[in-house]
Amino acid sequence: MDKKSICTLVFFAFLPSNCIWSTIGLRESGSQFWLITAFYLILKLLNSTGKDLWKFTSLAAFSLTFAYGTRPQTALVFSIVGFLFCTTILLKFRKFMPLIAILIGIFAGQAFTTTPTTSNTLKTLQNQVLNVRILKYKRNLNALGAQSALPVSTCQSSSNEIVKIIKCNLSELPYRLFAFLFRPLIFFDQGSTTLNFAALENLGWMILVPLSVWVSLRRRENTVDRFINLGLISYVLAFASAAALYEGNLGTAFHHKSTILWPLIFILMISQKIFSRSKLAC
């Protein structure tokens, strides 16, 4: 591993907020661990043969299953993007084991997080209904009187028609996505010392996110690397968009944002490897 790759890993591990989340018991660190493990094992499947195929398939499926035990919503977004990515890999390269691993992980993850008894199932359904009813309250929690709060969404209460709700959310998405990724802004979102430190860290995110998107869209001779980077950036955009439409305050949004840090770092590491290859070839 070269020095630049080591530096990116150090940046990932010791980025102030990400380091703090991993030491105070929040579920983001566990979710990152299992998703990184699942992603790595799926990549191993692309070059594996024989007994290694079943070994890495089983390990990848187990990792994704455990990811559902930390943050089910994050694991679900990863699974959907992973399913589409692995389907493309199957059609393009005739590699079917990554898709098998994803499917096993999805079904096992659902079983892992769902209790089979009737009474518990009814209780779970009641809790889901209750969560839907208080979603608006949770989303707008701490918004009152907070200059730094994400804008209050009116989409859920503006209409009962699903098409209108989708159109409303899409119209709000650009600003809410920007707010999720880059706010609090330095000199704009003034508040507590913690908010000011978060604004300073976001200066790094303003470089990291556009750079990763640009790198992932560059043309490459290696088709597999291109698919991997596009898969990672699709996960970033899918998770960030969903979180942007759900989050109600910047505090929650800021620590949930650490969920997309690892794929951005992987994109840069993969690209660095590609650029190094190109220089050697020259």
pLDDT given at position 65 = 93
Is the predicted pLDDT of residue 252 greater than 80, yes or no? no
Among 13-17, 25-29, 209-213, the range of highest mean pLDDT: 209-213
CA 94 to chain centre: 27
Structure tokens at 47: 């070059």
Provide CB contacts within 8 A for 178, sequence distance 6+. Answer: none
Q: Taking Cα atoms as reference points, which of 263, 261, 236, 240 lies closest to residue 178?
A: 240
Selected residue with higher pLDDT from 260 and 282: 260
Lowest-pLDDT choice from 60-64, 219-223, 246-250: 219-223
C-alpha distances out from residue 161 to 115, 125, 165, 168, 282, Å: 32, 23, 6, 11, 58
Provide CB contacts within 8 A for 60, sequence distance 6+. Answer: 38, 41, 42, 45, 98, 101, 102, 105
Instruction: Report the distance separating Cα 37 and Cα 67, nearest Å.
Output: 10
User: 83-103 pLDDT, tens per residue?
Assistant: 999 998 888 888 889 999 999
Is the predicted pLDDT of residue 246 greater than 90, yes or no? no
pLDDT band, very low/low/confident/very high, at 57 (cuts 50, 70, 90): very high
pLDDT band, very low/low/confident/very high, at 14 (cuts 50, 70, 90): low
pLDDT given at position 5 = 59
Is the predicted pLDDT of residue 114 greater than 80, yes or no? no
Residues 48, 51, 53, 56, CA torsion sign: negative
Is the predicted pLDDT of residue 280 greater than 50, yes or no? no
pLDDT given at position 55 = 92
C-alpha distances out from residue 239 to 81, 147, 177, Å: 10, 25, 10
Lowest-pLDDT choice from 102-106, 151-155, 179-183, 251-255: 151-155
pLDDT given at position 175 = 85
Selected residue with higher pLDDT from 94 and 38: 38
Selected residue with higher pLDDT from 170 and 61: 61
The overall average pLDDT reported for the chain is 76
pLDDT given at position 117 = 45
pLDDT band, very low/low/confident/very high, at 135 (cuts 50, 70, 90): very low
Selected residue with higher pLDDT from 212 and 159: 212
Domain boundaries along the sequence of the chain: 26-115, 168-282
Q: What is the CB neighbour count within 10 angstroms for residue 205?
A: 20
Selected residue with higher pLDDT from 47 and 108: 108
- Give mean pLDDT, residues 144-149: 44
Selected residue with higher pLDDT from 23 and 273: 23
- Give mean pLDDT, residues 46-54: 84
